[in-house]
Amino acid sequence: MAEMGSKGVTAGKIASNVQKKLTRAQEKVLQKLGKADETKDEQFEQCVQNFNKQLTEGTRLQKDLRTYLASVKAMHEASKKLNECLQEVYEPDWPGRDEANKIAENNDLLWMDYHQKLVDQALLTMDTYLGQFPDIKSRIAKRGRKLVDYDSARHHYESLQTAKKKDEVKIAKPVSLLEKAAPQWCQGKLQAHLVAQTNLLRNQAEEELIKAQKVFEEMNVDLQEELPSLWNSRVGFYVNTFQSIAGLEENFHKEMSKLNQNLNDVLVSLEKHHGSNTFTVKAQPSDNAPAKGNKSPSPPPDGSPAATPEIRVNHEPEAASGATPGASIPKSPSQPAEALEVAGGTQPAPGAQEPGETAASEAASSSLPAVVVETFSATVNGTVEGSSGAGRLDLPPGFMFKVQAQHDYTATDTDELQLKAGDVVLVIPFQNPEEQDEGWLMGVKESDWNQHKELEKCRGVFPENFTERVQ
């Protein structure tokens, strides 16, 4: 019995809801067609427009805030990777390693704290603010339905009021029929019953009208108070939200600036401790091209780089036993023969300047090792073993010695020489000795010099370990 009663109530409620929907649909159609007037409230409609605008703006702000937080998260990850890279390349024996690692840890914590505070003070507040809109939106829609019910009940009651005369005519017709089919005493009772039924319908319509009006007005009054208040609250909400974001970002950048300054100090200290010339760029075995910056020559392609000649300066050579003043000076094992032998087997007196010495030799002597100066001086003033003085006049200014390329070398910059195995290069000093990088020489290919005699266009640098000294 309880189940039947429950099912009956449910079925009745469903039927009532269906009837309400049909009545509302019929009323809306009549209003659209202009056959029924519609209750208008321009002030409330303006409040609804403001509400929709406020909801749209809040939804956009929430979306943009989530995008901002995603960007902060991405920046955090990128910063973390960058610090991890620094920690990996930082050698254990370099000063400031512990400080750099601590700065990296603080950097990671600062990003995490910034992101979490943005979530707590901005995103969650935003979600709470938008959380009230769905309920109000449903109440606005319900108020619209109750307004249709109110208009429908009002129109029904008004139609019963205006159709009073028509109802009397409709009642008279059955009476005339009853006069023929019923006794006289029944006609009065039937007429009284019809009148009572009509009055009952009017009373019911009036009750429904009062009820619908009450429900509508209660909802309408509440919304009339809430919507303007909600609209005005947006100013304070925007102020608090953007103040929180701005304050958090300001503090974050202040703390991040301190960490960056500390990291800069650590790196400056590292640079001062090691100096700028102690970090040698090591070429990879598979590379044929030298590195940029401080040039570092690559090993020859066969993996066995030519040995760099060791230059030793012997300021006080010992004379051989029984040697005469005109005898040759003993040579260092690593010095070439032409570097120390003087034409005629004589050694110039110390401090004496030969007439043929030029300004180029003076410049070279101030920046080059003694053995190079001696070689250059011998080249200018005398005759090198196996060649004549006249031939030396065709060599480039400052010529020191010759080398021959043992391997092909592909130039990687405009200031480098392109070499083929077998090319002979005339080595000359750098114009500015400070520009010379370790393992590199300045020179001009002999073929180019013999053809053009233009030093500016032909000279260039090349890796010494790709060549072998021949003279």
Q: How far apart are the first and last CA of the chain?
A: 124
Distances (CA, A) of 414 to 148, 210, 300, 417, 459: 87, 98, 21, 8, 11
Backbone angles phi, psi at 244, to 5 degrees: -65, -45
- Evaluate whether residue 2 is within a structural domain: no
Q: What is the pLDDT of residue 359?
A: 44
Residue 254 CB partners (closer than 8 Å, separation 6+): none
Given 274, 303, 328, the domain boundary residue is 274
**Same domain, yes or no: 379 and 238:** no
The answer to whether position 341 is within a domain reads yes
Same domain, 259 and 393: no
User: If you search the block for the tokens 């099912």, which residue do you land on?
Assistant: 7
**Do residue 245 and residue 342 come from a single domain?**
no
Range of the domain at 404: 337-346+358-469
Q: Which residues are 280's β-sheet partners? A: none
CATH code (residue 431)? 2.30.30.40
The encoded tokens of residue 395 equal 């060599």
Question: What is the separation of C-alpha 6 from the centre of its chain, rounded to a whole number of angstroms?
Answer: 63
**Within a domain: residue 375?**
yes
Residue at which a domain ends, from 274, 292, 310: 274
Beta-bridged to residue 46, according to DSSP, are: none
Rounded to an integer, what distance in angstroms lies between the CA atom of residue 391 and that of residue 471?
14
Total domains, the chain: 2
For the chain, percent helix, then strand, then coil, each to nearest 5?
A: 65, 5, 30
Q: What is the CA radius of gyration of the chain?
A: 53
* CATH number of domain containing 219: 1.20.1270.60
pLDDT tens per residue, range 145-199: 888 888 888 787 777 777 655 555 454 445 555 455 555 555 555 555 556 666 6
- What are the CA-CA distances from residue 361 to residues 251, 347, 364 (Å)? 64, 17, 5
Alpha helices, H only, 275-317 = none
Residue 83 has pLDDT above 80, yes or no: yes
pLDDT of residue 28: 67
pLDDT for the residue 195:
60
Residues 120 and 195 in one domain: yes
Q: Please name every residue paired with 461 in a beta bridge, in sequence order, or none if there are none.
A: 416, 442
Residues 363 and 264 in one domain: no
Based on the fold, state whether residues 266 and 415 are members of the same structural domain.
no
Q: What is the pLDDT of residue 273?
A: 85
Structural domain includes residue 251: yes
Q: String of b and e for 272-293 (b: at least 16 CB within 10 Å)?
A: eeeeeeeeeeebeeeebebbee
DSSP class of residue 426 equals: E
Q: What is the pLDDT of residue 387?
A: 40
**Tokens at 223, concatenated:** 């919304």
Measured distance CA(446)–CA(423) in Å, rounded: 8
Does residue 190 fall inside a structural domain? yes
Max CA pair span of the chain: 181
> Each residue of 316-346: pLDDT tens digit?
444 444 444 444 444 443 444 443 343 344 4
Q: Are residues 117 and 198 in the same domain?
A: yes
Whether residues 62 and 189 fall in one domain: yes
Question: Are 91 and 232 found together in one domain?
Answer: yes
Structure tokens at 332: 């260092």
Contact predicate 308/465, CB 8 Å: yes
Residue 412 in tokens: 């990687």
Are both 342 and 208 inside the same structural domain? no
Going by C-alpha positions, the residue among 451, 445, 438 that lies closest to residue 416 is 445
Tell me, yes or no, whether 382 and 260 share the same domain: no
- 270 in Cβ contact with 95 (< 8 Å): yes
Is 70 in the same domain as 186?
Answer: yes
| Per-residue pLDDT tens digits for 16-73 | 666 667 776 766 677 666 666 667 788 889 999 999 999 999 999 999 999 999 999 9
User: Does 199 map to a domain?
Assistant: yes
- Rounded Cα gap, residues 351 and 448, in angstroms: 37
Last residue of a domain, one of 242, 274, 306: 274
pTM score: 0.47
Nearest to 464 by CA among 333, 299, 332, 313: 299
pLDDT at 15: 67
Within-domain flag for 263: yes
Residue that the structure tokens 């004379």 belong to: 319
Rounded CA-CA distance 96/169 in Å is 109
SS3 of 299, please?
A: coil
Which one-letter amino acid corresponds to residue 185?
W
Q: Which amino acid is at 397?
A: P
In a domain, 377, yes or no: yes
